């Protein structure tokens, strides 16, 4: 049909708009090729670094250097991309560099899309090989048997506190693994199902996740029953197999198991974070913004813990975490886990470690590593 002058579709504005769009897309196409050239140039340099490391026996993964790369980039970053996006881009570039040098195998507590898996991907990106294990002990064993280059294990959750299984493994293998990096992961629980919320009769999740969403669940699903299973990801898998059920799990689990998200962010506390340790054969070199993790055992006498804490105070060292743990081999005795600001190569840290060596029955430096950024920062 011929267009009349009064036909709005004959207006030149849309034509101009379309032409402008084509021009802008042409710019993006050119920029994409330029970006591609640059990222491959970066990868070629990383390949050369890999050769130097192979000759010198250096590790492919350097938590300290990666932190420096990210700090440089984020300092220069002025937008309009968000910091989260820039971090994700560089995480994948670095992940690709490592894979070119030598593909890294990462053991984590499965199943796929568990929060440990998400933490591992946040640290090592898509180019690593991920080996899931059935429990936390197996992550340590995979590393010790050299079936994995690194392991990712949960240390503590902001709501539930310490993760006993991980601390126990550090006690069992005090000298065979080191913490080389830490990861802070925001845990966002969602209600996943393939039916309407009113039809949900059973809710599956990991016990801790159910407890973290207790108020929301009882208020919004008064007719449902709650059933703990081995993991949030397993709960999502179960939703596929039964009618009228829902899971409390991550967005990634919803994608993996093809489930709808009925309600987002249902945890009772708006801030829910899990801190993970990356364990490997060695810890990290100094960056200037580091933390050290320590495990020590003291005699069962009055004031022995106070003496240790005083040593930290006298050396102006800030403790960021302390946990006590019963020592299985001696009734009434405790092993303490502490994290503090500083690197084991810092003078004041060396001083406090020397004092502790004299004071304690045993002292093990679990590792020094760069301070983790909060998830999203
Ligand atoms: O600088 C290095 O040591 C590199 O191997 C390069 C690079 C990177 O891509 O920037 C990759 C892996 C390391 O963990 C740190 C940084």
pLDDT tens-digit profile of 264-302? Answer: 999 998 888 999 999 999 999 999 999 999 999 998 888
- Atom index in ligand 1 nearest the CA of residue 96 equals 9
Which of 40, 57, 66, 74 to mutate to test ligand 1, by most ligand atoms within 8 A of the CB atom?
66
Residue whose CA lies nearest to ligand 1 atom number 9? 94
Q: How far is the CA of 299 from the centre of ligand 1 (A)?
A: 43
**One domain for residues 251 and 313:** no
- Based on the fold, state whether residues 292 and 370 are members of the same structural domain: yes
Q: What is the mean pLDDT of the chain?
A: 93
The span from the CA of 229 to the CA of 238, in Å, is 9
Residue 244 and residue 307 in one domain: no
Ligand 1 proximity of 278 Cβ (cutoff 6 Å): no
What integer pLDDT is reported at residue 270 of this predicted model? 82
Query: For residue 201, what are the domain limits?
Result: 190-263
- Residue 133 lies inside a defined structural domain of this protein: no
Give me the number of domains the chain comprises.
Answer: 3
- Give the domain-ending residue among 71, 101, 131: 101
ipTM higher than threshold 0.90: yes
Residue 56 counted as domain residue: yes
In a domain, 296, yes or no: yes
CATH code of residue 72: 1.20.59.10
Q: What residues contact 262, with CB distance under 8 A and at least 6 apart? A: 190, 191, 192, 193, 196, 197, 200, 246
Q: Has residue 12 been placed in a domain? A: no
At residue 1, the pLDDT reads 44
Residue 306 maps to a domain: yes
Clarify whether residues 375 and 317 are in a common domain: yes
In terms of Cα–Cα distance, which of 367, 369, 347, 365 is closest to 356?
365
Structure pTM? 0.89
Binned at pLDDT 50, 70 and 90, residue 8 comes out as low
Residue 169 included in any domain: no
Tens digit of each residue's pLDDT (9 = 90 or more) over 203-238 = 999 998 999 999 999 999 999 999 999 889 999 999
Residues 244 and 289 in one domain: no
């Amino acid at each position: 049909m011929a267009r009349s002058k009064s036909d709005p579709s004959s207006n030149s504005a849309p034509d101009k708009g379309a032409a402008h769009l084509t021009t802008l897309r042409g710019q993006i196409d050119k920029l994409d090729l330029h970006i591609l050239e640059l990222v491959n140039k970066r990868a070629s340099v990383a390949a050369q670094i890999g050769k130097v490391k192979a000759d010198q026996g250096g590790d492919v993964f350097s938590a300290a250097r990666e932190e420096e790369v990210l700090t440089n980039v984020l300092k220069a970053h002025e937008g309009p991309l968000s910091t989260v996006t820039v971090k994700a881009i560089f995480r994948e570039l670095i992940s690709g560099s490592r894979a070119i040098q030598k593909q890294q195998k990462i053991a984590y507590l499965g199943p796929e899309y568990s929060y440990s898996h998400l933490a591992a991907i946040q640290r090592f990106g898509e180019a690593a090989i991920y080996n899931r294990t059935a429990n936390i002990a197996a992550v340590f064993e995979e590393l010790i048997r050299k079936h994995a280059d690194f392991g990712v294990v949960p240390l503590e959750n902001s709501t539930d506190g310490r993760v006993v299984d991980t601390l126990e493994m550090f006690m069992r293998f005090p000298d065979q693994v080191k913490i080389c990096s830490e990861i802070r992961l925001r845990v966002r629980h969602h209600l996943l199902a393939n039916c309407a919320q009113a039809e949900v009769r059973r809710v599956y999740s990991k016990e801790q996740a159910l407890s973290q969403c207790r108020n929301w669940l009882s208020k919004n699903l008064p007719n449902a029953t709650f059933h703990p299973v081995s993991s949030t990801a397993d709960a999502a898998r179960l939703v596929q197999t039964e009618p009228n059920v829902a899971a409390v799990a991550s967005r990634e689990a919803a994608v993996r198991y093809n489930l709808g998200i009925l309600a987002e962010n249902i945890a009772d506390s708006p801030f829910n974070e899990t801190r993970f340790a990356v364990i490997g054969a060695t810890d990290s070199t100094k960056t200037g913004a580091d933390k050290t993790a320590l495990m020590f055992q003291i005699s069962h006498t009055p004031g022995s813990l106070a003496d240790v804490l005083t040593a930290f105070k006298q050396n102006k060292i800030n403790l960021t975490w302390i946990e006590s743990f019963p020592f299985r081999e001696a009734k009434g005795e405790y092993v303490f886990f502490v994290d503090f600001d500083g690197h084991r190569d810092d003078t004041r840290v060396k001083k406090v470690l020397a004092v502790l060596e004299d004071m304690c029955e045993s002292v093990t430096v679990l590792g020094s590593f760069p301070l983790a950024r909060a998830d999203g920062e």
